[in-house]
């Protein structure tokens, strides 16, 4: 059998993407501005969020989100952010990079932060909660929002998996102080690499625009003196910043991907339903529920099985390449101080696998995956 079914496979409407990129090349403008601005406007329209700044990755977005919140709110080194151990390392590295401490709370049946454990992990040093909508699920987000309000904590939403997710028919997260999306190639609104940072307030949005471009403040001089742009070089530098902004070639891909985001997510939900229906009566397969009123982007389709490592090897031999989302982060060296504090996350980490989930899968592929999983999942 030479069939190979990958976990993820990005899908681009090549001709439409090339037409967008051609505009950049013809104009001689591939950098910041032009298509990046167009995409920011379209993203705000799509999500209903007030601000959006396009970046070269969501990792940089998370780093900037935590750094700006810390500075603007006067947090001290070693202040704490409650976070999940079941995520890609970008999430928790952002906390460490700002010299803050990740305090891990366990996950619930949706594999998102469990509000009950979040409450237990609050200390006098807690400043914020970092929530990851795992696989596109909103989990108990409304409960987390309540806790943040009651305890006067900031809210960061790592929405890397959530492009297109809706809760009660709306894009969730307006309650967050900052939301960060990923448009990395295998995420739901694919480009090559890029992301979006959406602050709730205008001041932070202004700061992130400067910090993402080396701290340069071009506006002051341009506004006060140079109406014709003759003094473009005469900018001030307000922060020690980064080179983290997005560019017009990536934004070209993003504009096309956004156009098809809802259609593509609908297909992902169809694939998920095929999996759900097929596994519903399998005693050895535990399904992950989607939160009530959540229309998930279905970035992932995860199951829990007794023999995960063995099953993955058998699926590989059959030409199917699943993934694992994620290893419990407290298993990693820099987070080992929290090892053993999140028992359900550890259980999931040992038993979960993510089945292929992307828009290139055919119904026949999905049926083949289902049959092969059923054949090899242990009795």
Ligand X SMILES: *Cc1c(COP(=O)(O)O)cnc(C)c1O
Piece of 53-61, 229-237, 310-318, 370-378 that binds ligand X (CB under 6 A): 53-61
Judged by CB under 6 A, which stretch of 38-46, 75-83, 85-93, 260-268 contacts ligand X? 85-93
Q: Which of 84, 87, 92, 257 binds ligand X (CB under 6 A)?
A: 87
Least Å from the CB of residue 236 to ligand X? 29
The H or E element spanning position 45 is helix 35-47
Q: Return all residues near 331 (Cβ < 8 A) that are at least 6 apart.
A: 339, 349
Closest approach of ligand X to the CB of residue 160, in Å = 3
Instruction: Check residue 58 for interaction with ligand X (CB under 6 A).
Output: yes
Measure the CA–CA gap between 344 and 321, rounded to whole angstroms. 25
Tell me the per-residue interface mask from 145 to 184 with ligand X, x by CB under 6 A, - otherwise: -------------x-xx--------------------x-x
Contacts of 140 (CB under 8 A, 6+ apart): 108, 110, 112, 113, 114, 115, 291
Q: Which is nearer to ligand X, 326 or 368 (CB)?
A: 326
Q: HSE (CB half, 13 Å, CA atoms) of 2?
A: 0
Among 88, 141, 301, 368, binds ligand X (CB under 6 A): 88
Q: Which of 377, 250, 372 is nearest to 310 (CA)?
A: 377
Region from 10-18, 56-64, 209-217, 232-240 binding ligand X, contact rule CB under 6 A: 56-64
Q: Pattern 188-207, binding to ligand X, x per CB under 6 A?
A: -------x------------
Name the residue nearer to ligand X (CB basis): 131 or 368. 131
Distances (CA, A) of 208 to 72, 175, 178, 201, 205: 12, 19, 11, 11, 5
Shortest gap between Cβ of 182 and ligand X (angstroms)?
Answer: 3
Count CB atoms within 10 A of the CB of residue 57: 20
Q: How many angstroms separate the Cα of 37 from the Cα of each of 30, 54, 164?
A: 12, 8, 20
Residue 91 lies near ligand X (rule: CB under 6 A): yes
Q: Interface with ligand X includes 63 (CB under 6 A)?
A: no
DSSP string for 75-114? PPTT-EEEE-SSS-HHHHHHHHHTT-EEEE--B-TTSSB-
Q: Which stretch binds ligand X (CB under 6 A): 51-59, 63-71, 222-230, 365-373?
A: 51-59
* 104 versus 376: smaller Cβ distance to ligand X: 104
Q: How far apart are CA 311 and CA 305, in angstroms?
A: 8
Residue 90 contacts ligand X per CB under 6 A: yes
Chain contacts with ligand X (rule: CB under 6 A):
57-59, 87-88, 90-91, 132, 158, 160-161, 182, 184, 195
């Amino acid at each position: 059998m030479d069939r190979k079914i990958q976990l993820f496979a990005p899908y681009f409407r090549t001709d439409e993407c090339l037409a967008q990129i051609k505009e950049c090349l013809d104009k001689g403008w591939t950098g910041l501005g032009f298509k990046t601005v167009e995409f920011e406007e379209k993203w705000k329209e799509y999500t209903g969020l007030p601000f959006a700044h396009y970046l070269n990755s969501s990792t940089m977005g998370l780093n900037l989100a935590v750094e700006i919140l810390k500075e603007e709110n006067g947090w001290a080194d070693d202040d704490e952010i409650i976070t999940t151990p079941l995520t890609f390392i970008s999430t928790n590295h952002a906390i460490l990079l700002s010299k803050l401490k990740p305090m891990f709370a366990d996950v619930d049946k949706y594999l998102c932060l469990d509000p009950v454990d979040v409450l237990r992990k609050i200390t006098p040093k807690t400043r914020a909660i970092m929530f990851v909508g795992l696989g596109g699920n909103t989990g108990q987000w409304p409960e987390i929002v309540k806790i943040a309000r009651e305890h006067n904590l900031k809210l960061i939403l790592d929405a890397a998996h959530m492009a297109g997710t809706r809760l009660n028919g709306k894009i969730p997260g307006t309650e967050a102080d900052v939301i960060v999306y990923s448009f990395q190639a295998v995420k739901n609104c694919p480009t090559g690499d890029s992301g979006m940072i959406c602050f709730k307030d205008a001041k932070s949005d202004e700061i992130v625009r400067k910090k993402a471009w080396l701290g340069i403040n071009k506006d002051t001089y341009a506004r006060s003196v140079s109406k014709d742009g003759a003094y473009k070089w005469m900018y001030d530098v307000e922060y020690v910043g980064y080179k983290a902004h997005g560019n017009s070639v990536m934004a070209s891909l993003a504009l096309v991907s956004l156009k098809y985001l809802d259609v593509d997510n609908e297909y992902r939900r169809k694939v998920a339903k095929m999996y759900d229906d097929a596994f519903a009566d399998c005693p050895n397969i535990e399904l992950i529920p989607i939160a009530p009123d959540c229309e998930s982007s279905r970035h992932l389709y995860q199951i829990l099985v007794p023999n995960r490592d063995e099953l993955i090897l058998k699926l590989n031999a059959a030409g199917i390449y699943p993934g694992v989302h994620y290893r419990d982060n407290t298993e990693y060296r820099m987070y080992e101080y929290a090892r053993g504090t999140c028992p359900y996350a550890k259980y999931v980490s040992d038993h979960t696998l993510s089945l292929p989930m992307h828009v290139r899968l055919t119904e026949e592929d999905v049926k083949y995956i289902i049959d092969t999983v059923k054949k090899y999942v242990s009795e």
